[in-house]
Amino acid sequence: MYNFMLNLHSYLRWVVVIIGIIAVVMAWAGVFSRARWTPQQVNLGRLITIVFDTQALVGVLLYAWLSPITTSAFRDMASAMKDAGVRFYVAEHSLVMIIAAVLVHIGVLRARKKDSPLQAAIFYTLAIVGVLALTPWGRPLLPGS
Ligand code: HEM
């Protein structure tokens, strides 16, 4: 179960990054062409929230139950926080990724409310910057590689 969820989390990272970048480019293109919040943007907004939420859910399952890194850290949080490698997953990665998922939701809601892609552009950009900065790129780029 652990390996399955970790591999899923690893593959989904690419879906998050690719859909995220497409959504950022489309939102800014909408801003610069002074477009309104089009049905195409609405659909992309739906897709990006589903993708972020799914990845965050898999991450929470790893975090709370499956990952040996976090579950052993919970037994001694004081020492876990002193180890930068463990702290990364216990605190930095998890927190920033959850914030990124929340930012995507805020972007979609505000863009719809104000009928403007600017809101989506700003919030999606912040989210994708957080994802790119806090993804553990030192780990395999694909499971088994
Ligand atoms: C939403 C964007 C996210 C992305 C792009 C992402 C990406 C990744 C990647 C690429 C890995 C390494 C996978 C591997 O080595 O095969 C990883 C590991 C991990 N992620 Fe995420 N993650 C995200 C969200 C989250 C969230 C929200 C949590 C928890 C609340 C989380 C918890 C973890 C944990 C605990 C690990 C380490 C698992 C282990 O090695 O035992 N992730 N993440």
Quote the tokens at residue 49.
Answer: 């929230």
Least confident of 60-64, 99-103, 112-116, 135-139: 112-116
Q: How far is the CA of 74 from the centre of ligand 1 (A)?
A: 17
Give Cα separations from 13 to 35, 56, 132, 138 (angstroms). 30, 10, 10, 13
Quote the pLDDT of residue 34.
86
- Give the separation between CA 53 and CA 56, rounded to whole angstroms: 5
- Residue 109 predicted with pLDDT over 90: yes
Regarding the beta carbon of 56 and ligand 1, being less than 6 Å apart is answered yes
Quote the tokens at residue 64.
Answer: 């709370």
Q: How far is the CA of 104 from the centre of ligand 1 (A)?
A: 18
Look up the pTM and report it: 0.94
Regarding the beta carbon of 139 and ligand 1, being less than 6 Å apart is answered yes
- Residue 36 predicted with pLDDT over 90: no
How much is the average pLDDT of 29-39?
89
Q: How far is the CA of 84 from the centre of ligand 1 (A)?
A: 16
